[in-house]
Amino acid sequence: MRQVICPPSPSCSPDLEDFPLQYLSLADECRSETAAARSTEVKSVRAAAMRSSVSFHLCLLLCACLGVACVAGVCVWSSQWRGGFAWGTSGLKFNWHPVLMVSGMVVLYGFGAVVYRVPLTWGGDKLPWKLAHASLMLLALLLSVVGLCAVFLVHGAERIPPLYSLHSWTGICSVALFAMQWAVGLGGFLLPCSPVALRVALKPLHAWLGASILMLSIAACISGINEKLIFVLLRTVNGTQPYSSLPPEAVFANSLGVLIVVFGLVVLRILSNRNWERPEPGSQDMVYRPLLQEENE
């Protein structure tokens, strides 16, 4: 299969914001009938690619800000309303759970997922960026496992059965799938002995499962925040207002949930925009090789 691509003229590409970023470096090579027409075309292609690049980087900046806000938000909730952090005290040990799960399974995971979309990573060898992707994901997995340990230890100490709620089922499934995805990704894409055919077959499944795990993690976060607020604000105890009257803690934690969802949607937007994908080898000479042939690194 072989596809020959010429960058479009602006007249046939109204969606300039979604213009493929890789054309930025190809604009000078665009052939036209006359020198004047070529000059105009090159300028338009360059301008469209620049707009696409700006819109991508704005999206990435939004993603980074939302990620930082999510981590800051869950830390503030735990420290301001739930007593802060300690590993020795059972109640305070629990507070590591939301912080580590949101930081690992959502924010670091999201950052790791969009690594290949950053144009900075497109030049030269792909291996260092594969290692960066795998390292970010490993760190995310480790944080999540420590976050799970915290809640298992608290349940054990307080004689609460583990893994009974749908929140816990969703959460444990997402971490288990993530661990499997990481191991298969390591074997399939990083070990030099893995055959090309395996990489080609794995790539679309890896991308789909990656987005699915993020979706599962977000569902686990939403149900987890909801569950925690029901438990701690169920009745008016010691002057605490019930969840249904939306006290400041409820408004804050609900808003944290909304932030987490918005972060996830921005990550999915970055991943789903085909014009922001890493150009594969061969595009420099105006030949685009589609997915079934291009993954041979």
Contact between residue 242 and residue 235 where contact means Cβ atoms under 8 Å apart:
yes
* 187 is an interface residue for its own copies by CB under 8 A: no
Contact 106, 98 (CB under 8 A): no
Alpha helices by DSSP H, the chain: 35-80, 90-94, 96-101, 109-113, 127-157, 166-185, 196-232, 248-272, 291-294
**Rounded least distance, CB 83 to its own copies, Å:** 21
Radius of gyration of the chain (CA): 23
Footprint on residues 247-276 left by its own copies (CB under 8 A)? 250, 253-254, 257-258, 261, 264-265, 268-269, 272-274
Least CB distance to its own copies at residue 126 (A): 19
- Contact between 201 and its own copies by CB under 8 A: the answer reads yes
State which of residues 43, 127, 169, 176 lies at the interface with its own copies (CB under 8 A): 169
Contact 222, 170 (CB under 8 A): no
Tally of CB atoms within 10 A around 42 = 17
Minimum CB separation of residue 161 from its own copies in Å reads 5
- Site size for its own copies (CB under 8 A): 67
Cα angle 272, 276, 279 (rounded to 5 degrees) comes to 120
Single-letter residue type at 60: L
**Span 4-43, contacts to its own copies by CB under 8 A:** 4-8, 12-15, 17-19
Site of interaction with its own copies (CB under 8 A): 1-8, 12-15, 17-19, 160-161, 164-167, 169-170, 173, 196-197, 200-201, 204, 207-208, 211-212, 215-216, 218-220, 222-223, 225-227, 229-231, 243-246, 250, 253-254, 257-258, 261, 264-265, 268-269, 272-274, 288, 291-293
